[in-house]
A and B are shown apart, each in its own frame.
Chain A
């Protein structure tokens, strides 16, 4: 009887809690980017899924290069070493997009719906660029130790019927998400630039009146959004697999997460990410079993 309860608990951890936690962390990071852009640039960025894919793509290319040179990160995935390059490239790309595309509409104070349609155009372009560079197929770039907790080892160790597995990528995802969120909140709460970003988000006119440089706020927002998007995209690719079309489809759960948490609220985006991830994992799991 006690064994059954333990087995059930382990099954829940293995099939719902751990996958949900990792997926939730990925969605939360994606939703953070969407929510930041919504709060400060004031539009829903439909190109965000493809921004994630772009960042992950650059990271993958760098990872392959590192792997070919024999550089590795021990038990951890080499992709983590390649991340800074992915972030830099993505930041440069989105800053370029802002300069060429979005700035015009910002100066003109175009209605948010128009900017959303503009972001659809950017989405098409990024989608094309990504498929052009890396193709449409699934790419595998995960290396290092596969499991932090091996399912068979767990079974032998505890004598339970149900296995429990923790993939390295899942652990890395959760740790990275915690670090990123902590850093972001420290930045928004404590630094001068972060405070000016929050002021800009709360009341643009008042922020401008108090001498905040809007171009700087916008640029920093894009850089942060690109950074979080790259991290989210890479973690998702490590944990599952990288396929450009999947990232486009991630747009839906990411926006759902941002909306559940309240668009424009970073804390809400994190909560929303986990709410969406756990409901998705739980419902599909329950559907399969019963």
Chain B
């Protein structure tokens, strides 16, 4: 950490402070919380791309899986829906998994040839119809009950904090499956494959109503311990006394208090992730990863298991992304599969890593906080700038159109920043040592 980097971090801190002083502290803290979560996800991407050179653009999928974990763990149980179809759906999923395993087993054990292809195809097709035969009636039964308010199987009703590591585990498990099939691919192909897989994950979440109500959204997810609800806080005597002593407005103070609490929790997670990642980077394992990234052939010649290490780093990075995704859904208090958009949840995170400095965790943190701030602030400031820029124009359709589309400035801004950094400082703001 040299002076230059400290100045850079100081400047980014000034951005948040300026937003707080000039606009509102509520806005500044919401931006900070969103940026902290994106930064944690960006650290996961940095591990995959910066440490190991894996060009994986499936970030959105792992974020969504983290959100699913919150739904499964902490949403309220729906006993009736569960009774109507829960066990049947689970049975169907187990049957489907067994059919898949049987197919893999047959593929490995039988001698190659037309016979093997036929048997494996028969297992897969038969397994598919068996799965659908059990799955469909149960899904229809479960979704039929109380569809306006529930219609999903419901969660376990456990505290939201438990869902965070579960989100990481879920993403890690998915990453294992994806890695097993896709990591053998060359860079561009891996990118397309992971982009597609992320779309598959989100489209499953959108369409399987029994899982998390799909596009009907699941809204009443509980807050993680120890974050209170603003309304409750405003009625608590201790808090009211404290606020009165400082001469603050109880409503504003409660919203800011809640956001500060979130910021603290995310900050702790971020700190832990950085500590672990820095330890990993500066260990023999980290040196091995960089050796593999810089020259796969020579690393393999030195006896390093390139495929195995790629799979490992892919799983670790994805788990961190899943963890961040779970924290996000938990903070939002709702699961809205329709809002998962690759521009926001995959490519923006990539911009953070590239701008900050791929391969450097501190660089990624700087990039995350800077880009996270820009992404949300350009949306707010863009219309103001446009208002100013269009002042000489007469009122009319053109002016209204320009003002209306000013919020799309942020995509343009992100693109220009990414291109400028790649051109003039290709290793990022804080380059890898």
A125 close to B196 (CB less than 8 A):
no
Residues of A within 8 A of B404 (CB): 135
- Interface 0/1 of B404-422, CB less than 8 Å to A: 1100111111111011001
Judged by a CB distance under 8 angstroms, whether A275 is at the interface is no
Judged by a CB distance under 8 angstroms, whether A65 is at the interface is no
Judged by a CB distance under 8 angstroms, whether B277 is at the interface is no
B347 close to A124 (CB less than 8 A):
yes
Given contacts A248-B343, A259-B192, contact A129 B423 (CB under 8 A): no
Given contacts A131-B408, A131-B411, contact A121 B422 (CB under 8 A): yes
Can you name the residue of chain B whose Cβ is closest to the Cβ of A254?
B192
Judged by a CB distance under 8 angstroms, whether B249 is at the interface is no
Pick the residue among B343, B350, B401, B412 that contacts A117 (CB under 8 A): B350
A124 close to B414 (CB less than 8 A):
yes
Judged by a CB distance under 8 angstroms, whether A212 is at the interface is no
Q: Please report the C-alpha to C-alpha distance between residue A43 and residue B227 in the assembled complex, in whole angstroms.
A: 48
B419 close to A132 (CB less than 8 A):
no
- Least distance between A288 CB and chain B CB atoms (Å): 12
Residues of A within 8 A of B343 (CB): 124, 127, 248
Judged by a CB distance under 8 angstroms, whether A123 is at the interface is yes
A104 close to B423 (CB less than 8 A):
yes
Given contacts A44-B192, A128-B413, contact A114 B422 (CB under 8 A): yes
Interface of B is mostly: helix
B415 close to A125 (CB less than 8 A):
yes
Residues of B within 8 A of A263 (CB): 188
B: number of interface residues (CB 8 Å): 33
B354 close to A117 (CB less than 8 A):
yes
Residues of A within 8 A of B191 (CB): 44, 116
A118 close to B419 (CB less than 8 A):
yes
Residues of A within 8 A of B192 (CB): 44, 252, 255-256, 259
Residues of B within 8 A of A122 (CB): 415, 419
B418 close to A132 (CB less than 8 A):
no
Residues of A within 8 A of B426 (CB): 114
Residues of A within 8 A of B416 (CB): 121, 125
- Interface 0/1 of A229-268, CB less than 8 Å to B: 0000000000000000000110110011001000100000
Residues of A within 8 A of B80 (CB): none
A101 close to B411 (CB less than 8 A):
no
B187 close to A132 (CB less than 8 A):
no
- Least distance between A42 CB and chain B CB atoms (Å): 10
A118 close to B422 (CB less than 8 A):
yes
In the A-B complex, list the 7 residue pairs whose CB atoms are closest, starting with the nearest: A124-B415, A128-B412, A125-B415, A128-B411, A121-B418, A131-B408, A121-B419
10 contacts between A and B (CB under 8 A): A44-B188, A113-B187, A120-B418, A121-B422, A124-B347, A127-B411, A127-B415, A128-B411, A132-B405, A252-B196
